[in-house]
Amino acid sequence: MDNKLKHVAVPSSEITSESAYFSRRDFLKAMGIVSAGALLAACAPKSQPDPSTGAAPGEAPSPAASSATDELGDPVNSFEEITNYNNYYEFTTDKEGVARLSPKFNPKPWTVEVGGLVHKPQTFGIEDLLAMFDQKERVYRLRCVEAWSMVIPWMGFELGDLLKAVEPMTSAKFVRFETVYRPDEMPGQRSPFYPWPYQEGLRLDEAYHRLAILATGLYGQSLPNQNGAPLRLVVPWKYGFKSIKSIVRIELVEEMPATLWNAIAPNEYGFYANVNPEVDHPRWSQASERRIGEFSRRETLMFNGYEEEVAGLYAGMDLRTNY
Ligand code: MTE
């Protein structure tokens, strides 16, 4: 861990207990989230590769997602869009250059250490996680803090299921995540401008929310390197930078962990980073966004359209100061 990044205390009144969280309604049902197997019959033309961006003649066709749309009826982005427009600063800050540089990265073998304030610390191989947990499709909107968005058919499992397996202690209040540090394979990590490795964090009750997943794939195939192979976080109601890629360490901690973007620019990137059209970034509006593949801008939805499911996590909090 980079010791330059410090911890920040948070009042316990901000933390919803796990039991309070689990008594909430059945999110999976409400969101129409079902297993990939159950969705296969729903294959529709929109889930096929877009002919305008699809594979070139002679190339293997793009994989198909089981779902053609998200629960709001918006079409999933094409595999080509999702894998050729990426934020992954470990490779480059050029979104269209990540796919070119990431093939050198080797995501196998891979282990994830899960420890800290837990009764059963454990190091899991990626194949252990694939065997332990059902991999289900979740079609989520990804809203980047830079005001662009996509709809992505992820494959993965709930973060809460992994946390339960290591038995967090009652003193654990936050979860800290860390990306792999491999400057030989990730040229962007040679940049002195960022405090590598990339780190992120969630409050424990946020981490237990059923919408928070660890993704192992997209479009029904294993995760491409540029999207964070072999394991990345996806928290759909928060700005994309919270969804940390290529995770090697998950630590349960007592104090709010430092995060890379917050450490660099605390007035621009808060710890919570909930999508909020009413709280602008100091340098641009967050009221609207550009959906990749669309011409006109669309309005940004509170909590990225997941308000009904997640607003309770922030009851009583001032979302302007806790941005
Ligand atoms: N994780 C790491 N380790 N490094 C990064 O640069 N970028 C974040 C997030 N996770 C990033 C990261 C940002 S800003 C966004 S918007 C999403 O990844 C983009 O995910 P995608 O490329 O799969 O669309």
89 lines ligand 1 (CB under 6 A): yes
Q: Whose Cα sits closest to atom 5 in ligand 1? A: 88
The confidence band for 62, taking pLDDT boundaries of 50, 70 and 90, is confident
Tokens of 253: 């901690």
Q: Whose Cα sits closest to atom 9 in ligand 1? A: 241
What is the DSSP annotation of 221-240?
Answer: EEPPGGGTTT-EEE-TTB-G
% pLDDT > 70, the chain? 81
Distance CA 86, CA 14 (A): 33
Distance CA 10, CA 33 (A): 32
Distance CA 301, CA 315 (A): 18
What pLDDT is stored for residue 31 in this prediction?
41
Q: Candidates 241, 281, 290: which one to mutate for ligand 1, based on the most atoms within 8 Å of Cβ?
A: 241
Mean confidence (pLDDT) of the chain: 86
CA of 310 to the centre of ligand 1 (A): 22
- Report, as an integer, the average pLDDT of 106-131: 98
Residue range 282-305, pLDDT digits in tens: 999 999 999 999 999 999 999 999
Q: Whose Cα sits closest to atom 13 in ligand 1? A: 241
Residue range 145-201, pLDDT digits in tens: 999 999 999 999 999 999 999 999 999 999 999 999 999 999 999 999 999 999 999
CA of 195 to the centre of ligand 1 (A): 15
What pLDDT is stored for residue 64 in this prediction?
83
Which secondary structure element, helix H or strand E, spans residue 124, and what is its range?
strand 122-125
What pLDDT is stored for residue 290 in this prediction?
98
215 lines ligand 1 (CB under 6 A): no
The confidence band for 60, taking pLDDT boundaries of 50, 70 and 90, is low
240 lines ligand 1 (CB under 6 A): yes
227 lines ligand 1 (CB under 6 A): yes
Residue 158 bridge partners (DSSP): 213
Given a cut of 50, is residue 30 above it in pLDDT? no
Q: Whose Cα sits closest to atom 6 in ligand 1? A: 88
Q: Whose Cα sits closest to atom 11 in ligand 1? A: 88
Q: Which atom from ligand 1 is nearest to the alpha carbon of 197?
A: 3
Given a cut of 80, is residue 22 above it in pLDDT? no
CA of 94 to the centre of ligand 1 (A): 12
Q: Which atom from ligand 1 is nearest to the alpha carbon of 144?
A: 16
Given a cut of 50, is residue 257 above it in pLDDT? yes
The confidence band for 59, taking pLDDT boundaries of 50, 70 and 90, is low
Which CATH number is 3-314 given?
Answer: 3.90.420.10
What pLDDT is stored for residue 12 in this prediction?
38
What residues does each domain of the chain span? 3-314
- Compute the Cα dihedral for 306, 308, 313, 314 and give only its sign: positive
Query: Among 41-45, 82-86, 91-95, 223-227, where is mean pLDDT lowest?
Result: 41-45
Q: Whose Cα sits closest to atom 24 in ligand 1? A: 86
% pLDDT > 90, the chain? 79
What pLDDT is stored for residue 219 in this prediction?
97
Query: Three-state DSSP class for 38?
Result: helix
Tokens of 255: 């104090």
Distance CA 167, CA 128 (A): 17
The confidence band for 27, taking pLDDT boundaries of 50, 70 and 90, is very low
The confidence band for 61, taking pLDDT boundaries of 50, 70 and 90, is low
Question: Which of 80, 78, 81, 98 is closest to 89 using CA atoms?
Answer: 98
Q: Which atom from ligand 1 is nearest to the alpha carbon of 98?
A: 22
The confidence band for 5, taking pLDDT boundaries of 50, 70 and 90, is very low
Distance CA 225, CA 129 (A): 18
314 lines ligand 1 (CB under 6 A): no
Given a cut of 80, is residue 239 above it in pLDDT? yes
